[in-house]
Amino acid sequence: MTTSTTTPAVQTDKLFQPFRLGRYELPHRMVMAPLTRSRARQPGNVPSPLNACYYVQRASAGLIISEATQVSLQGQGYAWTPGIHSLEQIEGWRLVTDAVHKAGGLIFLQLWHVGRISHPSLQPDNMLPVAPSAIKPAGNAFIENERGEGELVPFVTPRSLQIEEIPYVVRQYVCGSKNALEAGFDGVEIHSANGYLLDQFINSSTNHRTDSYGGSVENRARLLMEVTAAVSEVWGPDRVGVRLSPLGKFNDMGDDNPEETFGYIAEKLNAYGLAYLHIVNPTLVALEKGTEPEPSGRRMLDLIRQKYTNTLMIAGGFNHETAEQWLRQGKADLIAFGRKFIANPDLPERFRKGAALNPDDPSTYYGGGPKGYTDYPNLAQESGEEPKPSVDDRWR
Ligand SMILES: Cc1cc2nc3c(=O)[nH]c(=O)nc-3n(C[C@H](O)[C@H](O)[C@H](O)COP(=O)(O)O)c2cc1C
């Protein structure tokens, strides 16, 4: 099941040097990126021992960022994703954070409100999803059908949020933050990327508002800034990260002047003293393929690095060699890995040893049980020194 090999790490590798992140000392600079796996226990979207097993297997990451986690019922957009708005969910997450801490790891929770990327069947009382403006996204929502199976159905036109409701949206993030603290997390990441609610406010294609939350870049960034301030008050800013995806097209997104928009936001975020800014690499495809990136992507990365003067994390398309290169060239301080962590629970050790990597299986990304989730072996299991990971489904 192994494919690519990597070169063994050498002592001078920057990737394996410790890094001070706010009040934490990371043993190295490899972060596990947030990864939705749609395996929360039902009913109630509650994290389970199976989820704890998955995260603890990956506790050797310098930092784990949890899968995106809805801050409210309204914030949910996909079947079976976990929440952080009920007592049961807090207790479920406690299993995860305890297990990760016992294994010596650190874990932040990714705070999520999907906005228009939802469907009435996932919303309380079958209401319409909310958004900055009533603009329907192209594509499909992933819902649970009457037979309890996952199904893709077309998105609907969302309802535009009234200005009086916006403080309520901020409060959802505050509740999620307080609950995350209660659940034993080490910090939180505000999900302002990939076409979800905060990104919908930021990008001009999804925000046609004419009030103080639309129009100018200051106005479109206002909700993110309010959420950042409110969440920082709960956690202390040095335990809060923000994730952005400049130039991202995922979930039918676009902006008229991305350099102005994201340059402004990156600069503005300096004032909060955050743990980090996390960028989804706009040159992901080129980096992965080893081809020349679009000049716009390169320009955007340079701009963010220049405007944001604190810790910068980048995710998207990295392998051992390119991660090391980008750190050495000063393009980032931390590198997050997504798909490689799905298939390689012990990714840091594999990089250190130059060991082969397991390929990931996209057919098991979302939903299901242990298969493609907790059954990827670590090196000791692969060589037979330890028993193979269990695919026992009882833990669900
Ligand atoms: C299965 C899957 C689920 C993902 N879920 C999330 C998520 O919950 N939150 C998020 O911000 N990004 C999510 N992403 C994006 C990843 O965090 C990451 O940016 C992307 O995989 C690129 O990094 P990679 O090339 O190392 O895989 C997801 C990606 C994949 C493949």
Residue from 35, 194, 288 whose mutation best tests the ligand 1 pocket (most atoms within 8 A of CB) = 35
Q: What average pLDDT does the structure give for the chain? A: 96
Ligand 1 midpoint to CA 35 (Å): 5
Nearest atom of ligand 1 to the alpha carbon of 191: 11
Cβ–Cβ under 8 Å, residues 264 and 217: yes
In-domain check, residue 6? no
Residue 1's pLDDT is: 44
Identity of the residue numbered 114: V
Tens of each residue's pLDDT in the chain, 396 residues: 445 566 777 767 999 999 999 999 999 999 999 999 999 999 999 999 999 999 999 999 999 999 999 999 999 999 999 999 999 999 999 999 999 999 999 999 999 999 999 999 999 999 999 999 999 999 999 999 999 999 999 999 999 999 999 999 999 999 999 999 999 999 999 999 999 999 999 999 999 999 999 999 999 999 999 999 999 999 999 999 999 999 999 999 999 999 999 999 999 999 999 999 999 999 999 999 999 999 999 999 999 999 999 999 999 999 999 999 999 999 999 999 999 999 999 999 999 999 999 999 999 999 999 999 999 999 999 999 999 887 765 455
Task: Report the CATH number at residue 229.
Answer: 3.20.20.70
What's the one-letter identity of residue 376?
A: Y
Assigned domain for 393 exists: no
pLDDT at residue 8, rounded to an integer: 75
**Is residue 13 one of the residues assigned to a domain?**
no
Distance 68 CA to ligand 1 centre (A): 9
Rg of the chain, C-alpha, whole Å = 20
What are the two backbone dihedrals, phi and then psi, of residue 76, each rounded to the nearest 5 degrees?
A: -85, 140
As for ligand 1, residues whose beta carbon falls within 6 Å of it are 33-36, 67-68, 110, 191, 193-194, 243, 280, 284, 315-318, 337-340, 365
Structural domain count of the chain: 1
User: What integer pLDDT is reported at residue 2 of this predicted model?
Assistant: 45
**Residue 55 annotated in active site:** no
Q: How far apart are CA 79 and CA 59, in angstroms?
A: 26
**pTM summary value:** 0.97
Distance 212 CA to ligand 1 centre (A): 32
Atom of ligand 1 nearest to the CA of 194: 11
Closest to 271 in 3D by CA, of 310, 239, 313, 244: 310
Q: Does 84 fall in a domain?
A: yes
Please give the pLDDT value at position 6.
Answer: 66
Is the bond into 43 cis (omega within 30 degrees of 0)?
yes
pLDDT score for 7? 73
Q: For residue 2, is it within any domain?
A: no
Q: Are 32 and 336 in contact (CB under 8 A)?
A: yes
304 located within any domain: yes
> Which one of the listed residues 54, 55, 196, 376 is annotated catalytic?
196
Q: Classify residue 296: in a domain, yes or no.
A: yes
pLDDT tens sequence across 110-145: 999 999 999 999 999 999 999 999 999 999 999 999
Residue whose C-alpha is closest to residue 310's, from 283, 282, 280, 276:
276
Q: What pLDDT sits at residue 179?
A: 99
- 394 within a domain of the structure (yes/no): no
Boundaries of domain holding 39? 19-382
Residue 74 CA to ligand 1 center (angstroms) comes to 22
Closest atom of ligand 1 to CA, residue 68 = 8
